[in-house]
Amino acid sequence: MTAPVLAVPVLTVSGLTVRFPTGRRSTVHAATDVSFDLVPGRVLALVGESGCGKSVLAAALLRLLPPGTEVSGTAVLAGGTDLLGAPGRVLRRSIRGRRVALVPQSAATALTPVRTVRAQVEETVAELTPDVDRRARADELATRVGLAPADLDRYPHELSGGMAQRVVVALALAGDPDVVLADEPTAGLDRPLVDRTLRLLRSVADRGCAVLLITHDLGALQRTPGLVDDVAVMYAGRLVETGPADAVLGDPAHDYTRALLGALPAGGLVPIPGIAPTLTDLPPGCAWHARRPHSGACDGGEAVHVAGARTSRCRPPAGARC
């Protein structure tokens, strides 16, 4: 019997906490004590309702949050650089785009309308890898994301939404990053394009990148098994459940994950009960418990239960040790 190959993370996020002071007594608790690993060749989907802190998490990792934001915790790349602690100069020169790249939410706003796509891709190539032939590299990146090199000679408005989305993935791949953070890359796309974009990100991981896919489209993950490897469920700024995708989506441990799945067409379109908490005014203890006090599905505590590769707050997954 061969021993299992241990996956070595390329990015280890520990205790990431983000606070936006918004007034004399008011603070947005956008992310609280978030920990996860990103592993080469794997896609981790970060899911949760609108406003739960997903985008803030990605922006924190790239240090794109406004001045005055309070960020604590660590996010350590293989080799030792802490994304949250490294000087801005180091981030700009050797990390952003080169080791950690972002696929933004909207291709339309990421691309300049007045220049051809080729000009924009070649500019990024020249900036990140000045020694390579930029035209050849741009063509290679286009092919890699499923575009014809001739497509690059068009202006952004001449591309379909799906093609524009491919261009921003090509831009993210230009510096050959180890980590790709994709923030709602399928927002506003129709179902075939959602599936195509997700398959593209799967192929990016299959070539060795670690991918964080932020999405609230749980349905897309459910209808194509194998698209993502792992799932982290975020609620009110905290990860309430993490684990392999088939386990989390097929047999959720946390009541909130069950509620999210139940709100999908396949789950019966049951609205998530109660209202999402305000992140300036979180209850002590478990915020989901406060929303569903009589569900019997939560002990109201904050304990993280662990079973193999799965974790769940409040409610143990099968086989958990407490």
Ligand X SMILES: Nc1ncnc2c1ncn2[C@@H]1O[C@H](COP(=O)(O)OP(=O)(O)OP(=O)(O)O)[C@@H](O)[C@H]1O
Residue 259 near residue 276, CB atoms below 8 Å: no
From Ni ion, ligand X, none, which one binds at residue 298 (CB under 5 to 8 Å depending on kind)? Ni ion
- Rule CB under 6 A: choose which of 9, 41, 51, 149 binds ligand X: 51
Question: Please, what is the minimum distance in Å from the beta carbon of residue 276 to ligand X?
Answer: 9
32 binds ligand X (CB under 6 A): no
From Ni ion, ligand X, none, which one binds at residue 268 (CB under 5 to 8 Å depending on kind)? none
16 binds ligand X (CB under 6 A): no
Nearer to ligand X, 29 or 137 (CB): 29
54 binds ligand X (CB under 6 A): yes
The site map against ligand X for 212-241 (x = CB under 6 A) is ----x-------------------------
Nearer to ligand X, 139 or 184 (CB): 184
279 binds ligand X (CB under 6 A): yes
| Residue 223 backbone phi and psi in degrees, to 5 | -80, -15
- Rule CB under 6 A: choose which of 28, 159, 167, 248 binds ligand X: 28
* 27: three-class secondary structure by DSSP: strand
**Count of residues touching ligand X (by CB under 6 A):** 16
The neighbour count for residue 145, using CB atoms within 10 Å, is 21
Nearer to Ni ion, 52 or 298 (CB): 298
Site for ligand X in 63-102 (CB under 6 A): 66
Looking at the chain, the number of H-run helices and the number of E-run strands are 11, 11
- Rounded CA-CA distance 210/179 in Å is 5
- Rounded CA-CA distance 52/221 in Å is 19
* Parallel/antiparallel/unpaired status of strands 43-47 and 230-235: parallel
Residue 319 near residue 249, CB atoms below 8 Å: no
- Rounded CA-CA distance 68/56 in Å is 14
- Rule CB under 6 A: choose which of 19, 36, 45, 55 binds ligand X: 55
H helix runs in the chain, sequence order = 54-61, 88-90, 107-110, 117-128, 134-144, 161-173, 191-206, 218-223, 245-250, 255-262, 287-291
Structure-block tokens of residue 115: 């220049």
63 binds Ni ion (CB under 5 A): no
- Rule CB under 5 A: choose which of 237, 286, 304, 305 binds Ni ion: 286
From ligand X, Ni ion, none, which one binds at residue 51 (CB under 5 to 8 Å depending on kind)? ligand X
- Rounded CA-CA distance 77/320 in Å is 29
Question: Please, what is the minimum distance in Å from the beta carbon of residue 298 to Ni ion?
Answer: 3
314 binds Ni ion (CB under 5 A): yes
Question: Please, what is the minimum distance in Å from the beta carbon of residue 211 to ligand X?
Answer: 17
DSSP 41: T
220 binds Ni ion (CB under 5 A): no
- Rule CB under 6 A: choose which of 1, 2, 50, 265 binds ligand X: 50
